[in-house]
Structure 1
Amino acid sequence: MTPKELKQILQALVEHGVSELTLETPDYKLTVRRGGEAPVVAVPQVALPASLPAAPPAPEPASAPAPAREATAKADECSGCVEVRAPIVGTFYRAPAPDAPPYVKEGDRVEKGQVLCIIEAMKLMNEIESEVSGIVKKILVQNGEPVEYGQPLFLIQPV
């Protein structure tokens, strides 16, 4: 499965409100869940010859990955803030066009339903709207960065 095919599947799940999908082929099994649980992607199931030694277990990380630690630290900076999260996988853009001003800047007041950014997925531009009225305290993603489903994008202090 190519990354493009995976993006198409994820976009279709979002568009049609599907909460779980399992796709099984002779080469791999893919399970994707949306909602309260994190998406799960299964690894290809490949039979190993009996002559190969078993791989040593991977060491468990001592702490959360750096992006997760950064998001947690940034969330701590703004107690009571609402996190606006990416509803889809794609590329984050702060403005509607490269030469246009950004939709919002840190410190701007926003209204519920106001466009905050665009996430491009499969050449489709998806406007991401504010879930609350308030003040943009922190923009957690840089322009042009890839974002994952559920990744925090903005911290907004409700007013």
Structure 2
Amino acid sequence: MTPKELRQILQALVEHGVSELTLETPDYKLTVRRGGEVQVVALPQGIAAPAAPPPSLPTPAPTGVPAPGNLAPAAGAPGLEAQEAKEAKEECAGCVEVRAPIVGTFYRAPAPDAPPYVEEGDRVEKGQVLCIIEAMKLMNEIESEVSGIVKKILVKNGEPVEYGQPLFLIQPL
């Protein structure tokens, strides 16, 4: 399975709200679960495990340790942030959601002492950096998909984000 095929499967799971998928071939068994613990499945003898996953894919956590995207919020009711994001989307008819392309930690600025890339109300151009997501010690710049006005920043600085999670609402110009 190629990284592109895996990304397409993950995106389909998020889009259709599927919480678990198992794919089995003669060479491997892949089980993907959202919101649960990561399980490491041993490969059959004679099949070598890859040295490292491609940099664009998240690394699974060891057995019994929740993956970063599965950490519960420190405070508030479960699903509260999802509800707030939904309400913000309803208030901003026609806004484009910029979603997290990877699992990691959301940062609004390039360094702790630097100003944020963007603030609510700022005008942005297509391709302009909005934030970074740290994954596997790599800083991934997330760019605007459209030119417009940043209406809402949906994630707080330093919070873990999941694949496909809305980060920004941008009103296209």
Alignment TM-score > 0.5, same fold:
yes
Shift of 1:77: 1.3
**Structure 2 CA distance for aligned equivalents of residues 67 and 153 of structure 1:** 11
Q: CA RMSD in A?
A: 2.3
Match of 2:12? 36
User: 1:24-103 maps to which residues of 2 (within 5 A)?
Assistant: 33-38=9-14, 40=20, 41-42=32-33, 65-103=79-117
TM-score (ref. length: structure 2)? 0.61
**Structure 2 CA distance for aligned equivalents of residues 132 and 152 of structure 1:** 15
**Structure 1 CA distance for aligned equivalents of residues 12 and 119 of structure 2:** 29
Between the two proteins, what is the percent identity of the paired residues?
72
Specify the SS of the correspondent of 2:141: strand
- Which amino acid in structure 2 is aligned with residue 136 of structure 1? V
Specify the SS of the correspondent of 1:37: helix
- Which amino acid in structure 1 is aligned with residue 10 of structure 2? R
Q: Deviations over 1:14-71 (max 9, x none)?
A: xx642238xxxxxxxxxx9322332742476xxxxxxxxxxxxxxxxxxx93232221
Specify the SS of the correspondent of 1:76: helix
The unaligned stretches of length 5 or more in structure 2 are 21-31, 40-77
Specify the SS of the correspondent of 1:100: coil
**Structure 1 CA distance for aligned equivalents of residues 132 and 85 of structure 2:** 20
> Moved runs in structure 1, 4+ residues, more than 3 A?
none
Specify the SS of the correspondent of 2:85: helix
- Which amino acid in structure 2 is aligned with residue 19 of structure 1? E
Aligned length: 116
Shift of 1:74: 1.1
Match of 2:53? none
- Which amino acid in structure 2 is aligned with residue 20 of structure 1? L
Q: Is the 8 A contact 2:130 2:142 kept in 1?
A: yes
TM-score (ref. length: structure 1)? 0.66
Shift of 1:145: 0.5
Return the index of the structure with the highest Cα Rg.
1
Q: Deviations over 1:106-150 (max 9, x none)?
A: 000000000000000010000000000000000000000000000
Q: Is the 8 A contact 1:19 1:35 kept in 2?
A: no
Q: Deviations over 1:83-119 (max 9, x none)?
A: 0000000000000000111100000000000000000
